[in-house]
Amino acid sequence: MHGKIMGSFSYKAISSQGKPVQGKVVADRIELASRELRSQGLTLLSIEPAAKGAFRADEAAPGPGNASSDDILAMTRELAVLLRAGLPIDRALKVMIDMAADIKVRDLLEELLSSIKAGKGLSQALLSYPEVFSNFYVNMVRSGEASGHLAEVLARLADYLTNAKSVRSGVVSALVYPAILLTVAVLSIVGMLGFVVPQFETLFNDMGDALPVLTRMVISAGDGLIRYGWLLLLLLGMTVYLVRNWLRSEEGRAKFDASMVRLPFFGAIVFKYEVSRFSRTVGTLLGNGVSLLRALSIAVETVDNTHIKNSLRVLEPAVKRGQRMSVALEETGTFSPLVIQMIRVGEESGSLDQMMTELADVYDEEVQTGVKRSLTLLEPAMILIMGGAIAVVIIAILMGIMSVNDLAV
């Protein structure tokens, strides 16, 4: 009879005396490990499987500007827990510095602590690092300081960042397999044309026009790939370079983004993804006391697609004129009835922040479903195309061999 396999978990916590502690605990599951630590009077900051969380601090690139989105998420959640435990902001940052294993995170925390000791508020200190903390993040913290509920705001901010990461990771993960499939398909076809087909070329040399048309086409393609492969790579590189430069221009980016929204299947996904980000940002900011005009100004900048962003830019001046958001959006002709109606309900009921968050939840779910549905159609199509291309090469070679045998007879 086999015993249960116990796991090792790394944790960071605060003791009942307010001192930072970290270490490892062995338990069957992470829930049991958390329960065991709390029973010891520890306030748990983070816990994760030891192997997953293990890293060397000396491998991290120094400098606060290099802090990743995962670092910021962990830092935000830990700070929220410490502030909820009753620690003042400077003491909480000192505790986090003592526990930080990553050099770049420690440097960032030390600089924030220095700014706060110099008399700045946390939001003011964050303004010094625009490459790390977005305008949205800074305004959320500022609203928490103004309301006196910084811990709660940081907890909501951590939830927002977690949700954004989850949606983004879900989309990226779903695209990994098709990307691998496409790479394998291209390499397989190039390999067959560049290496397999030339092996039969000597066999077919004396056949001339007696070879089947398909065989001659495949041999010509293989011969062209060998002779002009470098030229094809050069042209591909130049095309990528020119397209990248075009996309960096305002006109190129605008045309590309507009075409993305019009794509079948994927256009709707892009639209819902961007509107979801905008809606969640507005809802989160409004829920933390930020004015509607300020929330709209910040939220528009979170949208990457310039076509959708330009449609949303009408909101701030429209609201300044006293017009409702729902009316302004309806006049653009870009947004679906669902978006307009949910915003209208929020405006009429006085719960715009909740309706914007609910709209984001609806669209997040539809994005995940849409990606899966699109890939369900795309993956078999890619397999068929790859299989068909390889089958054409094989059939062409077999037809050539059969022609040689016929002539020999």
CA distance 292 to 316: 9
Residue range 137-173, pLDDT digits in tens: 888 888 888 878 888 889 888 888 888 888 788 778 8
Predicted TM-score (pTM) above 0.85? no
pLDDT level of residue 58 (50, 70, 90 thresholds): very low
Minimum mean pLDDT among 113-127, 181-195, 314-328: which range? 181-195
User: Residue 82: which of 29, 6, 158, 8 has the closest Cα?
Assistant: 158
3-state helix, strand, coil in the chain (%, to 5): 75, 5, 20
Q: Using 50, 70 and 90 to split pLDDT, how confident is the model at 60?
A: very low
| H or E element that contains 44 | strand 43-49
DSSP 25: E
Q: Do 47 and 36 form a contact (C-beta atoms < 8 A)?
A: no
**Which among 11, 54, 2, 60 is positioned nearest to 31, based on CA atoms?**
11
Confidence label for 208 from pLDDT (cuts 50, 70 and 90) = low
- pLDDT digits 0-9 by tens, 345-356: 999 998 999 999
Q: Which residue has the higher pLDDT, 358 or 41?
A: 358
Residue 61 confidence (pLDDT) above 60 = no
* Residue 12 three-state SS: strand
In this predicted structure, what is the pLDDT of residue 8? 72
Of the candidates 81, 225, 93, which has an alpha carbon nearest to the alpha carbon of residue 154?
A: 81
Name which residue leads in pLDDT, 358 or 13.
Answer: 358
What percent of the chain lies above the pLDDT cut of 70?
90
For residue 7, the model assigns a pLDDT of 65
Distance in angstroms (rounded) separating the CA atoms of residues 76 and 164:
14
> Is the model's pLDDT at 42 over the cut of 80?
no
Residue 298 has pLDDT above 90, yes or no: no
- Paired tokens of 219: 């041999």
- Mean pLDDT over the full length of the chain: 82
User: Contact at 8 Å (CB) between 277 and 305?
Assistant: no
